[in-house]
Structure 1
Amino acid sequence: MILAKNLRFLRTEKGLTQTDLAEKLGVQRTMISAYEDGRSEPKLSALDIFSKLFAVSIDELLHHDIQQFGRKASKNKEIKILTIAADESDRENITMVGQKASAGYLNGFADPEYMESLPQFHIPTLSRSATYRAFELSGDSMLPLVAGTVIIGSYIEQLRDIKSGKTYVLVTSSEGVVYKRVFNYLEENGKLFLVSDNEHYKPYEVKAEDVVEIWEAKAFISTDFPNPKDKAKPVSLDDISQMILDLKTEIIRLR
């Protein structure tokens, strides 16, 4: 019955009627109804059409409850190569994405003209074997790093390389540009859990398919010299585990 449930969920999620889906398959509407009720099973050719139409694997359609657990994400999912700025010596520069620029970055990161319009700089001590980008923080969710701090991140090509507990700048279609401590649950449910170092902010989840870019934090630049007394309370692994447990409980309750 997982297939029947998945077909019904994916069809409604895409805003299609049973008649719409029947036309795409070249069958009667009653056949789609039978698929969704579990009274009939589609042939391989129909499964292939469903797979392409809903952008899921046939294995996922047959064996994974998409409505309950979300879409699976391959741990090998690649994030596309970026537009890179270089100097006269063909040495890569670091492009700076300020707070005001972050809103347009989601749409402009692949546009060479847009990227060239952003400030660029170079740090000699960073390894030349990686690609870097700089992002200016807003808000106080990652204290003791305050708003205005610039995070320099190293480009991560594959989601499988995300290491739980480390901090990353994520560019996502759902949340925009954020800097968080990330926990990798891709193989379990196709999602990432994002945790703030400031305990006043609750963790939340992001679907892998919403991730556009990931940058592993390597350094930061700040004109603020924080007083140790003003630092946020450190978040322990036990605290993080409890926050994630609370989040999962809340998600189940909302369902």
Structure 2
Amino acid sequence: MNKQQKIFFPDNIRFLRERKKLSQEGIAQLLDFTRVKLNALESGKTRNPALEDLVKFSKFFKISIDSLVQIDLSRLLELQLRDLEAGNDVFMIGSKIRVLPITVDSENRQNSEYVPIKAKMGYASGYNDPEYINALPKYNIPSLSRNGTYRTFQAEGDSMYPVPDKAEVTGAYVENWLAMKPDTPCIVVLKGANNFVFKLVTVNKKEKNFILKSLNPLYKPYIVEGEEILEFWEFKKLHLDRLPEEPTEIHEVRQLLEVMHSDLKKLNKKTYE
């Protein structure tokens, strides 16, 4: 069962009002609300604010509705708040909105934490929790720059063939998602249980989403919205315990059958919904 999404809207509008040094009465007049209505919104007594009210707050504070609802704005630095007010979408600048938990060794060098497949379900809720990150296996990779922040994920599936199933991929933490070049190989951490995939990532700045592409041509590219993404880790190293297999006709036929089977399952699911 997915963890219920925390809604920050009531706390955010109170925080932003106080940041502007406005009273409830003052902002209520500016937005054509009654003070009673504003108090109900700020206290969370209004469970489902009207869309018109969300738009009013968004325009007044110059912050997107997504950010008003899903981000705890009180935890951001003033510079980051100004960045949002300037129109930079919080889901596209990505990890600039939070501090990444890291661990260090006895010489104060950053570790590379290891996230195996069995940790997939916990990572979506623990990726921003220092205690969870501290409990992960950790090590150092001498050939990587000491200035970077790295994490190693165990990928699965054959969508990145010839990279084999269960291969371990080390990536460097991407702070600014918009700076990625087209087809940047990344571990992409998504919301949900099966939440990290190894893909070639292209930023679609106009539509504010991302195109994820597999190395395996049997898998079609697909689009993921920015709010569905938690982290990007740009590929730096591949760790294998066996040599990659040469492609064979039998392997290609098996892959094709697997993709067809997957497509049929999706089609049947849509038919009965």
Partner residue in 1 for 2:176: 158
- Residues 192-221 of structure 1: CA deviation (Å, up to 9, x unaligned): 010111122222111112221111001110
Partner residue in 2 for 1:215: 233
- Residues 140-188 of structure 1: CA deviation (Å, up to 9, x unaligned): 1101111111000001101112211121011122562111011110x21
Q: Do the aligned partners of residues 130 and 81 (structure 1) sit closer, same or farther apart at CA in structure 2, a change above 3 Å counting?
A: same
What's the TM-score once normalised by structure 2's chain length? 0.59
Asked if the contact 1:79/1:213 (under 8 Å) is kept, the reply is no
Q: Do the aligned partners of residues 87 and 47 (structure 1) sit closer, same or farther apart at CA in structure 2, a change above 3 Å counting?
A: closer
Distance 1:54 1:229 in 2: 44
Q: How does 1:70-219 map to 2 (within 5 A)?
A: 73=89, 76-77=93-94, 78=96, 80-173=98-191, 176-185=195-204, 187-219=205-237
- Matched residue type, 1:177: F
Q: How many residues align?
A: 186
Q: CA deviation at 1:24?
A: 5.4
Distance 1:196 1:205 in 2: 12
Q: CA deviation at 1:48?
A: 2.1
After the TM superposition, which of the residue ranges 127-136 and 101-110 deviates more from structure 2?
A: 101-110
Asked if the contact 1:155/1:215 (under 8 Å) is kept, the reply is yes
Distance 1:94 1:156 in 2: 14
| Secondary structure at the counterpart of residue 193 of structure 1 | strand
What's the TM-score once normalised by structure 1's chain length? 0.62
Q: Do the aligned partners of residues 114 and 46 (structure 1) sit closer, same or farther apart at CA in structure 2, a change above 3 Å counting?
A: closer
Distance 1:214 1:121 in 2: 20
Asked if the contact 2:162/2:245 (under 8 Å) is kept, the reply is no
Q: Do the aligned partners of residues 49 and 127 (structure 1) sit closer, same or farther apart at CA in structure 2, a change above 3 Å counting?
A: closer
Q: Do the aligned partners of residues 199 and 45 (structure 1) sit closer, same or farther apart at CA in structure 2, a change above 3 Å counting?
A: closer
Q: Do the aligned partners of residues 46 and 100 (structure 1) sit closer, same or farther apart at CA in structure 2, a change above 3 Å counting?
A: closer
- Residues 106-153 of structure 1: CA deviation (Å, up to 9, x unaligned): 111122222122111111111111000000011111011111110000
| Secondary structure at the counterpart of residue 213 of structure 1 | strand
In structure 2, stretches of 5+ residues that fail to align are 1-32, 40-49, 69-87, 253-273
Asked if the contact 1:81/1:157 (under 8 Å) is kept, the reply is no
Runs of 4 or more, structure 1, over 6 Å off, are 43-46
| Secondary structure at the counterpart of residue 48 of structure 1 | helix
- Matched residue type, 1:181: L
Tell me how large the CA RMSD over aligned residues is: 3.4
The share of aligned pairs that are identical, in percent, is: 31
Distance 1:84 1:225 in 2: 32
Q: CA deviation at 1:52?
A: 6.2
Distance 1:101 1:95 in 2: 12
Asked if the contact 2:153/2:170 (under 8 Å) is kept, the reply is yes
